[in-house]
């Protein structure tokens, strides 16, 4: 099934989730989303390595080889602080240049047989978290809402032109999406649907997804799933796995509450000891960190194994690979990327495994060829 006007690539693969979107029309959406976020590289500083480049095409091909069927592309806009008056659209490169590059990256995903999620992101220059944005007065909120509307509608236009297969209307906007200000976000979602006809999501934060009220107007319950799996360091794998089971229970409740498939728009852990205790800690703020690939891999394994058996779980996007697979300057070795690490083997196995969302398991389905490297991966 395909909604008229949706990108031709968005067809059912395995189970079909039936839900009624804000337009009132029944829609069919593909589950079994095995995704990787392809992070941007600031093209002005690294010419020829960002979205749409030959390097980016190599990354898209690499995602296919590890078993992915989706890529997420995340252009950024800049704001100065938590009381923004507007958005600078030129994060990676001058905007018109970046717009074309992002569209080219979506086409590269399609050329490699991948579907594409477009996620416009907000970066705060002073290092604060976007979930705490507060322009202040009613007039300042109205000014911010107008600026954000223009920003997200422009990227919705790119999604429509490039044939993106899904679009996120925002990322971690807690102070907006969980408050009375959310009325204006519903209005923005309505405007986005006039520009982009494909399925929509919103990337709530893991700890406010239950308070986010936007999902009745969207097609997927999206969240950035940086869940802590333990509240103490040096937890055993069984203790981490119990944390993963609690995440799976939340996924089940969200699916039942909203009658929508649940999607991890981002999920990942850093490559250091105890990454599952405070997984949101940004690697750029750390120094002299011990590298612990096994700890990262076990955190991935503990969160993914339980959710793959949840029928309402649509899939996940690994956070993250970069647009140039050979450029290791984008984050420290203890950062989030699982590329070339033990965690990549866990991700490969998760991609190869038959999920509940894919339909009934067949004899012999299950472990990928790397399972023995971490006994009992799934």
What tens digit of pLDDT does each residue of 320-354 get? 999 998 888 888 899 999 999 999 999 999 999 99
Following DSSP, what letter does each residue of 245-306 receive, concatenated?
Answer: HHHHHHHHHHHHHHTS-EEEEEE---SSSSTTTSTT--GGG--SPPP-HHHHHHHHHHHHHH
- Count of positions (residues) in the chain: 378
pLDDT score of 79: 87
Q: What is the 3-state secondary structure (H, E, C) of 343-375?
A: HHHHHHHHHHCCCHHHCCCCCCCCCCCCHHHCC
Q: Give the separation between CA 198 and CA 96, rounded to whole angstroms.
A: 23
Please report the pLDDT score of residue 251 as a whole number. Answer: 97
Asked if residues 268 and 320 have their Cβ atoms less than 8 Å apart, the reply is yes
- Write the DSSP assignment of 298-344 as a string of letters: HHHHHHHHHHTT-TTEEEEEEEEEESSTT---SS-TTSS--TTSHHH
Q: Is the pTM of this model over 0.85?
A: yes
The tokens of 318 are what? 């690994």
Instruction: Give me the pLDDT at residue 264, please.
Output: 98
* Per-residue pLDDT at 6: 27
8 Å CB contact between 140 and 148: no
What integer pLDDT is reported at residue 365 of this predicted model? 53
Place of tokens 């997804």: 209
Q: What is the CATH number of domain 31-373?
A: 3.20.20.80
With beta carbons less than 8 A apart as the criterion, state whether 99 and 158 touch.
yes
Here the tokens at position 88 are: 């600078």
pLDDT value at position 362? 59
Residues in the chain predicted with pLDDT less than 50, given as ranges, are 1-30, 367-375
pLDDT for residue 10: 25
Q: Name the residue among 204, 199, 205, 203 with its Cα closest to residue 218.
A: 199
Domain boundaries along the sequence of the chain: 31-373
Contact status, residue 168 vs residue 118, Cβ threshold 8 Å: yes
């Amino acid at each position: 099934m395909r909604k008229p006007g949706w990108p031709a690539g968005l067809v059912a693969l395995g189970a079909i989730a039936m839900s009624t979107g804000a337009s009132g029309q029944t829609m069919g959406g593909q589950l079994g989303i095995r995704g990787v976020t392809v992070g941007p590289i600031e093209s002005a500083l690294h010419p020829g390595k960002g979205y749409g480049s030959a390097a980016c095409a190599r990354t898209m091909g690499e995602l296919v080889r590890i078993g992915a069927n989706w890529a997420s592309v995340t252009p950024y806009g800049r704001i100065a602080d938590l009381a923004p008056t507007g958005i600078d659209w030129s994060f990676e490169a001058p905007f018109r240049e970046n717009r074309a590059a992002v569209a080219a990256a979506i086409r590269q995903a399609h050329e490699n047989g991948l579907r594409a999620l477009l996620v416009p992101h907000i970066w705060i220059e002073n290092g604060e978290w976007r979930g705490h944005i507060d322009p202040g007065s009613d007039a300042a909120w109205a000014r911010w809402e107008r600026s954000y509307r223009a920003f997200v509608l422009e990227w919705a236009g790119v999604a429509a032109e490039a044939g993106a297969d899904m679009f996120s209307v925002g990322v971690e906007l807690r102070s907006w999406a969980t408050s009375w200000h959310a009325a204006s976000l519903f209005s923005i979602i309505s405007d986005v649907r006039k520009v982009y006809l494909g399925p929509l999501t919103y990337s709530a934060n893991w700890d406010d997804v239950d308070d986010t009220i936007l999902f009745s107007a969207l097609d997927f319950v999206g969240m950035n799933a940086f869940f802590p799996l333990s509240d103490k360091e040096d937890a055993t794998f069984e203790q981490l796995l119990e944390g993963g089971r609690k995440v799976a229970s939340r996924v089940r409740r969200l699916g039942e509450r909203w009658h929508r498939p649940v999607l991890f728009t981002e999920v990942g852990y850093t490559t250091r000891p105890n990454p599952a205790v405070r997984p949101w800690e940004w690697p750029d703020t750390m120094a002299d960190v011990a590298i612990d690939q096994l700890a990262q891999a076990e955190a991935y394994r503990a969160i993914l194994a339980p959710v793959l058996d949840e029928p309402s779980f649509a899939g996940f996007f690994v956070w993250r690979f970069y647009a140039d697979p050979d450029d290791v300057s984008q984050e420290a070795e203890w950062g989030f990327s699982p590329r070339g690490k033990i965690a990549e083997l866990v991700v490969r196995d998760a991609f190869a495994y038959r999920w509940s969302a894919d339909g009934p398991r067949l004899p012999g389905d299950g472990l990928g060829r790397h399972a023995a490297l971490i006994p009992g991966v799934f």
